[in-house]
Amino acid sequence: MNDQINISGEKIEELQNLASQNLFMHAQQINDWAGDLKIFVKGEGVWVTDINGNKYLDSLGGLWFKSAGYGRKEIAEAIYKQACEIETPPANAACIPQIELAGKIAELYPDKSARSFLTSGGSESVETAVKMAKKYQMNTGKPGSYKVISRRYSYHGATAMAVSLGKPSTSDTMGPEMPGTIHVQNWDSYRIPNNMNPVDYAVQCANEFQAAILHTGSDTVAAMIAEPISAAFGIHIPPKEYWQRLREIADKYKVVLIADEVITGFGRTGKYFATDHWGIIPDITTVAKSLTSGYSPLGAAIATKK
Ligand SMILES: Cc1ncc(COP(=O)(O)O)c(C=O)c1O
């Protein structure tokens, strides 16, 4: 399908040259796109139109976040209206939407007294959650704990600490990870050992967290983090027993359980949070992406009353 786009060939060439000289793209080598960058100019619902007028169905929904669809004027108008009134509060104060959003998140979250720390995206939400966990441990009797257990074949963001938690991570080529980072096996839907019941395998994978805690000393472990459904290296949907076992292990060893719902949060699995499917409440949930469907850079670290 084609749309009429009134941008001249000269202008397109100018933009391609400018991008080739001055722009970095996320997770792509410059030589892979220089001179032939995909440039989009219009979006409506599930459809997007590029600078040459080609219309596409965006089946991925941005990078997994366009839940409300492209081109929603009422969202754009709400952002415009707020920016005309007051765009950000002065230091140590709040704006009305910030308070109402925190209230709305708590209303949707299984713990209605949950409190949100608003951030500018998923990586920052993960950073915040890890800091919250360490501070919580410091205040509640495990002051020496600083280690964080995450899983291989996970992705938790692009900032310097968050890449440590992901694996394989860019920290493999960028020097030491955050001290105290421990990686355990992921749940893997595609590599269940022959003849093994998926539930038994899920519990076995979850038990890797326990083995790591026992090996390193539970007094030193502040938090464990995982995506409810990891997506960076294949989409892996675990049986409910996996997260139920993670909850038991976290409780047993007084480790803060962080669910990274940056991809799964706000309705992408049919419930507001993927962990709602399994009847467990993490201590902290990190969200971003579908929280705003990409209309503004916003994330949150949602902490339970505990
Ligand atoms: C599970 C998960 N956590 C964190 C992030 C980082 O979010 P952001 O790109 O908003 O910093 C992502 C991004 O894809 C993600 O998939």
Residue 165 CB–ligand 1 contact under 6 Å: no
pLDDT band at residue 42 under the 50/70/90 scheme: very high
| Domain edge (last residue) among 73, 98, 125 | 73
Tokens of 295: 């209309």
Q: Note the pLDDT tens digit of each residue in 173-211.
A: 777 889 999 999 999 989 999 889 999 999 999 999 999
> Based on the domain organization, do 291 and 171 belong to the same domain?
yes
Is the CB of residue 157 below 6 angstroms from any atom belonging to ligand 1?
A: yes
Q: Is residue 78 part of a domain?
A: no
**Structural domain range at position 97:** 90-303
Atom of ligand 1 nearest to the CA of 123: 11
| Start-to-end C-alpha separation, the chain | 53
State the average pLDDT for the chain: 95
Tell me the pLDDT band of 172, cut-offs 50, 70 and 90.
low
140 is a domain residue: yes
What is this structure's pTM?
A: 0.96
CATH classification of the domain holding 142:
3.40.640.10
- As a whole number, mean pLDDT of residues 237-248 equals 97
Q: Which atom of ligand 1 is nearest to the CA of 261?
A: 1
- Ligand 1, residue 289: give the atom nearest the CA: 10
User: What is the arithmetic mean of pLDDT over 255-284?
Assistant: 97
Are residue 157 and residue 296 in the same domain, yes or no? Answer: yes
For residues 223 and 187, the answer to whether their CB atoms sit within 8 Å is no
Q: 81 in a domain, yes or no?
A: no
pLDDT at 171: 55
Do residues 118 and 206 share a domain?
Answer: yes
pLDDT of the residue at 3: 76
Provide the b/e sequence for 2-27 (b: ≥16 CB within 10 Å): eeeeeeeeeeeeeebeebeeeeeeee
pLDDT band at 169 (very low <50, low <70, confident <90, very high): low
In-domain check, residue 4? no
> Do 34 and 129 belong together in one domain?
no
Last residue of a domain, which of 46, 73, 100?
73
Q: Among positive and negative, which fits the CA dihedral 101, 105, 108, 114?
A: negative
Q: What pLDDT score was predicted for residue 193? A: 92
Per-residue pLDDT, averaged over 244-270, amounts to 97
Residue 4 pLDDT: 82
Ligand 1 touching residue 227 (CB < 6 A): yes
Same domain, 159 and 63: no
Query: Do 245 and 148 share a structural domain?
Result: yes
Helix (H) or strand (E) holding 17: helix 9-22
pLDDT value at residue 2: 73
